Amino acid sequence: MSWLNFAIFLPILYAVFIPFFYKKVPSVHTGWFVLPIPFVLFIYLTTSIPDIANGGWFMHTVSWIPSLGINFTTYLDGLSLILALLITGVGTLVIAYSIFYLSMKREALHNFYIYLLLFMGAMLGVVLSDNLMVLYLFWELTSVSSFLLIAFWYQRDKSRYGAQKSMLITVSGGISMLAGFIMLHSMTGSWSVRYIIEEVGSLSDSSLFIPAMLLILLGAFTKSAQFPFHIWLPDAMEAPTPVSAYLHSATMVKAGIYLVARFTPVFGGEATWFWIVSMIGLVTLFWGSFTAVRQTDLKALLAYSTISQLGMIMSMLGMGSAAYYFAPDSKAFEYSSMAILAALFHLINHSTFKGALFMVVGIVDHETGTRDIRRLGGLMTIMPITFTFAAIGSFAMAGLPPFNGFLSKEMFFSAVLTASDLGIFHMETVGLMFPIIAWVASVLTFVYCMILVFRTFTGNYNPEKLEKSAHEAPIGMLIPPGILVSFVVVIFFFPQTMADYILNPGVEAVLPIPIEDVNYYTQISAWHGWHAPELWMTVAVVILGSLLFVFLRSWQGVYSLFPRDWSFNTVYNAILVGSEKGSEKLTEKYMTGSLRHYLLYIFAFLILAVGTVIFATNGFVIDRSNDAPVNIYELILISIIAIAAVGIIFAKSRLTAIILNGVLGYMVAIFFVIFRAPDLALTQLVIETVSAALFLLCFFFLPEWKKENVTRKVKGFNLVISLGVGTIVTLVMLSIQGNRLFDSISSYFEDAYKLAGGKNIVNAILADFRAFDTMLEILVLAIAGLGVYTLIKLKSSEGNDKRESK
């Protein structure tokens, strides 16, 4: 296993030791023991930057299930490096921040850091995996671990609701994504992303190409909170602020962005991909910014701002996918590659200023006891450092100089302005809407950024509305956001350094054409001259945005035009409640408590499913050419078995039935003896003897054997089902010899000693030939046992009275 493979599992393995640190060293905050893990991983990943910048990449494979083509293959290129650096870099700062944010006395820190490390490992697995099935495995692990993090304060109804909502939406998208992956495998015969990209030329003609594209996009949109799946993100803000800063600024929501970027080489250049990704992104951008303005809770405002910013990145990836439509040396290719570069650039910028803003909001909440804008104000002089961080982060998000958000926003404007000149997909007409939507959304973005800064930190200070007397945060809580806002400023002044070492390799990963052969857009600068339309669009954003902010009360009534009941949340809740009621009614229909009914369902389904397959596929073929001759001993044994089986039906006592049942088992054992399988015969004899003995031991406690009084109708129905099952099983048995789909596996059993060293074939099957089955069955039993033990031992913990205000 390489260091890159090990990097994914390091956080997960280290989580095992967290309970030990929590219990054995209670005087030290558990976060201090966790902090080195993401920091070491970050340093390790930074050592790859020079090689990646020079066009290199790293791939390592650990064999897992080679017979199915499923291997633990990691792949590090420019795109995965950007995400991995964000996961570990921001993760380091978030853990450092959490040390001062979460109380050692009131919080279950061991649970928190276990969940956080699981999530970190899962995210690294998503961005570093080359195998689709492994990627999906880690993808769903992010959903599970984020569910645990969001529901960390599970005593709250809103926390449980938010966790359930995020889980249902993202997992549903993940399942659709899995279906898309399976379709890609059907088209290419491989689970490798690298191999699929190499085969892309032959995929577009497949009938599965568009369905696979739509299903994968569905998974990406749900994960990255794109419209209309964005509704889970605001409710997920019930998580502790460090979780919000980590999941929703740098990691989880970026997984959907990563997926779209990673599969752009596969689907890029297709009109369907271009329009869906671009338009969903632009709609999300507008709706997120429009909704953010009406929020009064700071974290809710940041949640909708995240939705808006993610939409902006998504739309740029959609516009950049047009690069596959043009020749690499054309001007249109250069414009399109600029959109990809801008998307990756804003991906990083967003993580820096949004991570800082989440931490700032957490500080405000921590030091005042509220996040409600209507109760805040006048904190600028009381919390000057926090105010400075908030101003830098917000101005960067608004796209103002001298901060990094200005650069990526200018590139976004350039992308939407040039998109209409591409001359493809009817962009010369519909494409005119792109800059209009982008500009309106930017104005609204400017407005909510001003609300965040000026409504929180300026105006009158109202201590009577606060739960605490406000004061500046401790230095430990200020260092992490301070580092992030430092990056916000440094990136503005040295964008080309980042472009050369980080962004250009990322663009080359999304558009895998050697950079020396194409006209990549690789220059980032803050000034393009007075003639640049992007400059005047920004000036107009500032002027109109300032007016809208100053006169906010005058036009805020526009939100009342949208009734609160008309929302996707209402639809989600209606679906959830309807599903629960419908499921309850359906369950009451068939869960009657009657064993006869349950057997009836099982046998009826068996008749329907197997019978349909047999007749639909013409599977009823009798081939007796390979049958061995039946001797007199076998006929005698079959006759005994038949007589015993029929006799059970007419047995007058339970003892007679048990004896007849035992006769069946012993006759089967004799069959094994005749077929020269003494070990199987011995096993069968032991099992049959133990079963009969158990029946007899329980005999005294069993209810009295009596004849059931049932109606003729029930008897007739039972007869039909019985005959149906008997007929289906007989047909299957007769058809087996005529429908051999696979080679016989009997050679394994004949050579059991040679292959596995087992003299007993049963042991060889359990321990060698089906070892994974046995291991997983034991694992299931172990998990079930742990679950039972946990339910017995689990007690509601008292305390935890410190909670973020709602």
pLDDT in tens, 590-637: 888 888 889 999 999 999 999 998 888 888 888 888 788 888 888 999
Pair 308, 438: CB distance under 8 Å: no
- For residue 1, pLDDT beyond 80: no
Mean local confidence (pLDDT), 517-528: 72
What are the E-state strand segments in 175-245? none
Q: For residue 380, which of 461, 289, 315 has the smallest C-alpha distance? A: 461
- For residue 803, pLDDT beyond 70: no
Confidence of residue 517 (pLDDT cuts 50, 70, 90): low
Which strand (E) or helix (H) includes residue 59?
strand 58-65
Q: What is the pLDDT of residue 336?
A: 83
Confidence of residue 514 (pLDDT cuts 50, 70, 90): low
| Number of other CB atoms surrounding residue 575 within 10 Å | 11
Q: What is the pLDDT of residue 506?
A: 93
Measured over all CA atoms, what is the biggest interatomic distance in the chain, rounded to whole angstroms?
104
Pair 580, 701: CB distance under 8 Å: no
Provide the token pair at 787: 């679950």
Tell me if the pTM is above 0.85.
no
Mean local confidence (pLDDT), 400-412: 93
Provide the token pair at 332: 């249109």
Q: How far is it, in rounded angstroms, from Cα 349 to Cα 355?
A: 10
Mean local confidence (pLDDT), 224-236: 93
Confidence of residue 519 (pLDDT cuts 50, 70, 90): low
Q: What does the pLDDT look like over 559-594, one tens digit per residue?
A: 888 777 778 899 999 999 999 999 999 998 888 888
What are the E-state strand segments in 209-278? none
Q: What does the DSSP 8-state code read for residue 766?
A: I
Q: What does the pLDDT look like over 716-770, one tens digit per residue?
A: 988 999 999 999 999 998 888 777 777 777 777 778 888 888 777 778 888 888 8
What average pLDDT is seen over the chain?
89
| Number of other CB atoms surrounding residue 245 within 10 Å | 32
What are the E-state strand segments in 505-662? none
Q: What is the pLDDT of residue 727?
A: 93
Q: For residue 169, which of 571, 584, 565 has the smallest C-alpha distance? A: 571
Q: What is the pLDDT of residue 615?
A: 86
Report the share of the chain in percent with pLDDT over 70: 97
Residues near 498 by beta carbon (within 8 Å), at least 6 away in sequence: 345, 348, 491, 524
Pair 398, 353: CB distance under 8 Å: no
Confidence of residue 242 (pLDDT cuts 50, 70, 90): very high
- For residue 250, pLDDT beyond 80: no
- For residue 800, pLDDT beyond 70: no
Provide the token pair at 216: 């994968």
CA distances to 490, 509, 716 from 597, rounded to whole Å, are 71, 58, 15
Name which of 306-320, 435-449, 784-798 the model is least confident about.
784-798
Q: What does the pLDDT look like over 40-76, one tens digit per residue?
A: 999 999 999 999 999 899 999 999 888 888 999 999 9
Q: How far is it, in rounded angstroms, from Cα 325 to Cα 756?
A: 56
> SS3 of 369, please?
coil
CA distances to 72, 174, 300 from 573, rounded to whole Å, are 39, 20, 19
Q: How far is it, in rounded angstroms, from Cα 220 to Cα 247?
A: 15
| Number of other CB atoms surrounding residue 599 within 10 Å | 13
Q: What is the pLDDT of residue 107?
A: 87
Name which of 99-103, 388-392, 451-455, 614-618 the model is least confident about.
614-618
List, in sequence order, every residue forming a beta bridge with 62; answer none if it has no partner.
72
> At how many degrees (to 10) do helices 252-267 and 78-101 cross?
170
Q: How far is it, in rounded angstroms, from Cα 344 to Cα 317?
A: 9
Q: What is the pLDDT of residue 797?
A: 52
Q: What is the pLDDT of residue 216?
A: 96
Residues near 614 by beta carbon (within 8 Å), at least 6 away in sequence: 620, 728, 731, 732, 735
Q: What does the pLDDT look like over 289-300, one tens digit per residue?
A: 999 999 999 999
Question: 459 vs 431, which has greater pLDDT?
Answer: 459
**Buried b vs exposed e over 506-525: b needs ≥16 C-beta within 10 Å?**
bbbbbbbbeeeebbbbbebe
Q: How far is it, in rounded angstroms, from Cα 80 to Cα 258?
A: 8
- For residue 515, pLDDT beyond 70: no
3-state SS string over 536-547? HHHHHHHHHHHH
Q: What is the pLDDT of residue 565?
A: 75
One DSSP character per residue, 307-337 reads HHHHHHHHHHHHHHGGGGGS-TTSHHHHHHH
> SS3 of 62, please?
strand
Provide the token pair at 707: 């004849």
Q: What is the pLDDT of residue 735?
A: 87
| Number of other CB atoms surrounding residue 170 within 10 Å | 29
Mean local confidence (pLDDT), 348-356: 95
Q: What is the pLDDT of residue 593?
A: 87
Radius of gyration of the chain (CA): 32
Burial class (CB in 10 A: 0-12, 13-18, 19+), 73: buried
Q: What does the pLDDT look like over 370-405, one tens digit per residue?
A: 999 999 999 999 999 999 999 999 999 999 999 999
Pair 340, 318: CB distance under 8 Å: no
Confidence of residue 521 (pLDDT cuts 50, 70, 90): low
Contacts 24+ apart (CB under 8 A), 547-554: 548/443, 548/444, 548/447, 549/446, 549/447, 549/450, 549/451, 549/454, 552/293, 552/447, 552/451
